[in-house]
A and B are shown apart, each in its own frame.
Chain A
Amino acid sequence: MEHRVKETKFFNMTLLLLAGLAVLAALWDAGTSQFRGGTDDLFFVLAALLVALLFATPPILFGIRSGWFHEKFVIDDEPASSEAHAAAEAREADSHGGKNSLFIFVWIALLALTGLEVFLGYVQLRKDLMLTILMGASIIKAALIVAYFMHLRFERMSLVLTIVPATVVCLCLMLILFPDGFRLLHLR
């Protein structure tokens, strides 16, 4: 039995590694060509990300089935035993209030990230590097705000899955305008 657990773990780790490699390939292509190749590059990046999703799906499904996500997202509202019910109630009460230290910690993290961004502006980093780091930090900040300040981390998984992927995909679709922006610059 233990042998099988080990095997499953190894299998999942390999798949996650492959998914990571696919993401890296997408990042590498985006970094080196900077979408100068137009739609071809965009297509390659999207295909690589889809492959990464494909690789990552079995580990994620395994994680859901083995209950790994239950602690991360509050998903079931009817625990089986009364003991678990009490625990869930305590957790709910916890998420409703009395967590002010957590929020102050998140606030400090947001301030630290903002300070880092301003510092990068002060030392005047290279433009492309600066843009990448700024957008990365901003996305982390946005995720912190949405997850903790806007309470999405304590909501049901169904609400998270309804709101977040749709918005992110719609925003990412607008990326398709950038190859045209570069083309316009070269036409001048």
Chain B
Amino acid sequence: MSEAGVESYAGASEWDGGALPYKVGHKKLGMWLFIMSDSLTFGALLFAYSYARIASVEWPKPFPFFPSIVFSSVMTLCLLSSSLTMVMAVSAAKRRDKRTARKWIFATMFFGAAFVVLHLIEWGHLIGDGLMAFELPEEWLKMWPGASPLFGATFFGITGLHMFHVFSGLCYLGVIALFIKRFDEEHVEVSGLYWHFVDLVWMFVFPLIYLLSIKPS
């Protein structure tokens, strides 16, 4: 609940928007509505992935526990820690302590950038193995005969869209941090909402894509 967003309506009559049924500013409500629609986008993608996997006779399980799963666990750790630093940034901004808020936002961006870099390294490994959007590597087909070629499409599609969200979140946070003097605490809080949502999506992508495709040892 930001004072700035709420106060600007103070004094207006209820018919002029003086009533605040949600008691949040319009920026925050807009971000919540965006998050609702975006969660449906990711939900649809994850359901499509599950559908393809259910309807396939065989599905590749290409991620060995070490190094792939450990690697993606470190990525999860990065994203969760970035959420915590974002919370700290928001609470610093609420105390009107913009200098500290900026530092915490930079810490958040550091963890987010680490996530993107680690993820791109992993993509590089998979592409190096010969994984394409609609084509599996030869060895995988020997290991899992009749495996669905949709693996690459679902993997690159879902993690790619998520990585794009992380990247745009980095740009968003960068703008907020660089010009923080012009923004009030509501802006920081709204950018925090977006960042936490990206984290939330990864909480579903990580188990469904990675942990359910661990290579049997």
Q: Interface with B: A24-32, A62-70, A113-121, which one?
A: A113-121
**Considering the chains assembled together, what is the distance between the CA atoms of A77 and B20 in angstroms?**
11
Please measure, in the bound complex, the distance between the C-alpha atom of A134 and the C-alpha atom of B193, giving whole angstroms. 24
Please state if B39 and A167 are interface contacts (CB–CB under 8 Å). yes
The dominant DSSP class at the A interface is helix
| Given known contacts A150-B196, A181-B51, A138 and B36 CB-to-CB distance under 8 angstroms | no
Chain A residues, Cβ within 8 Å of B21: 158
Are A121 and B69 neighbours in the complex by a CB distance under 8 Å?
yes
Q: A148: nearest residue on chain B (CB-CB)?
A: B87
**What string of 1s and 0s marks CB contacts (under 8 Å) between A175-186 and chain B?**
101101110110
A188 near B203 with CB under 8 A, answer no
Whether B24 contacts A149 by the Cβ 8 Å rule is no
Interface size class of chain A, counting residues whose CB lies under 8 Å from the partner chain:
35 or more
A118 to chain B: which residues have CB within 8 Å?
Answer: 69, 73, 211
- State A165–B39 Cα separation when bound (angstroms): 13
- Chain B residues closer than 8 Å to A177, beta-carbon distance: 47, 51
Identify the closest chain A residue to B73 (Cβ).
Answer: A118
* B168 contacts A by Cβ under 8 Å: no
Binds A, one of B9-17, B76-84, B128-136: B76-84
A45 to B87, CA, bound (A): 38
Provide the residues of chain A in CB contact with B196, threshold 8 Å. Answer: 145-146, 149-150
Q: Give residues 172-217 of B contacting A (CB, 8 Å).
A: 189, 192-193, 196-197, 199-200, 203-204, 206-208, 210-212, 214, 216-217
Shortest distance in angstroms between A9's beta carbon and chain B's nearest beta carbon?
33
